[in-house]
Amino acid sequence: MSYPIYKQAIYETTLNLVKVGLIRLSSGNISTRLPDGNIAITPSGILYDKMKPDDIVIMDLGGNKIEGKYKPSSEKALHNEIYKAHPDVNAVVHTHSIHAIAFSTVGIELPVVCLELVFVGGPIPVADYQTPGTVKVGIGAAKHFSEKPGLRGLLLQNHGLVAIGNDLNDAYQNAYNLETGAEIYHLALQTGKKPISLTDFQITQIFEQYKKPGKY
């Protein structure tokens, strides 16, 4: 099949993540599932401000390169393990955004204190630490998404965040909401007061208001 349209979409999503500050230099990686079952993913070892659409790599679910002059992201296993465990997930965004990392280092679950965290299916868990780049990171993340079907993003201990979506834009928005929610929670904690969590009833009301069928 022809891949340029998907490469362009990954490229644009990456630039958007750089623009909103979730990606710095080449930290973080983005992928989408293709109609033929393969995966388009950002390349390894290239600064994103130098990246071109054609640098996006096509790989199979085993992480083997199908097309592209660079290697697939060093964190390809994180993406592939999620795709293998969740056939309904069509895009994955992983970032080393600072508020997500900060909370991941203290292992604090993010409570649902704002709409941003409601829409990501909070409370947001922290997956146990695993060496970045290993299959175990992906298995740990995929397990959390299986245990909590409404969850659309989570923290990876001492590492960052990972968000999933029906498509690239959905995964991008989930990553953005998760990082923004972490930033909001951080600011609220600076007051020295305990931030108020929304109740399950309030969350249900919010979904009804936004015409969403429950927690996704």
CB 130, min distance to Zn ion, A: 11
Nearer to Zn ion, 102 or 115 (CB): 102
State in angstroms the smallest separation of the CB of 176 from Zn ion: 17
Minimum CB separation of residue 163 from Zn ion in Å reads: 13
| Catalytic residue (one of 12, 67, 75, 109) | 75
Residue 116 is among the residues annotated as catalytic for this protein: no
Q: 44 vs 197, which CB is nearer to Zn ion?
A: 44
Residue window 111-140: x/- pattern of binding to Zn ion, with contact defined by CB under 5 A: ---------------------x--------
How many Cα neighbours within 13 Å face the side chain of 8?
A: 4
Q: Where are the alpha helices (DSSP H) in the chain?
A: 4-19, 76-85, 98-105, 115-119, 135-147, 168-189, 200-209
CB of 45 vs Zn ion, minimal distance in Å: 14
Distances (CA, A) of 22 to 12, 57, 136: 14, 21, 23
Question: Which residue number, 114 or 155, has a Cβ lying nearer to Zn ion?
Answer: 155
Binding flags for Zn ion, 79-118, as an x/- string (CB under 5 A): ----------------------------------------
User: Which pair of structure tokens corresponds to residue 18?
Assistant: 């750089």
d(CA 214, CA 60): 33
Contact between 133 and 119 under an 8 Å Cβ cutoff? The reply is no
Calpha distance 159→43 (Å, rounded): 19
The answer to whether the CB of 142 falls within 8 A of the CB of 83 is no
Q: Judged by CB under 5 A, how many residues of this single chain contact Zn ion? A: 1
Pick 155 or 198: Cβ nearer Zn ion? 155
In the complex, what is the shortest distance from the CB of residue 76 to Zn ion, in angstroms, rounded to a whole number? 11
Angle at which helix 168-189 crosses helix 4-19, to 10 degrees, equals: 10
> Are the C-beta atoms of residues 175 and 120 closer than 8 Å to each other?
no
Q: Tokens 């393969």 sit at which residue?
A: 38
Nearer to Zn ion, 63 or 132 (CB): 132
Q: Which residues bind Zn ion (CB under 5 A)?
A: 132
Show which residues are catalytic: 75
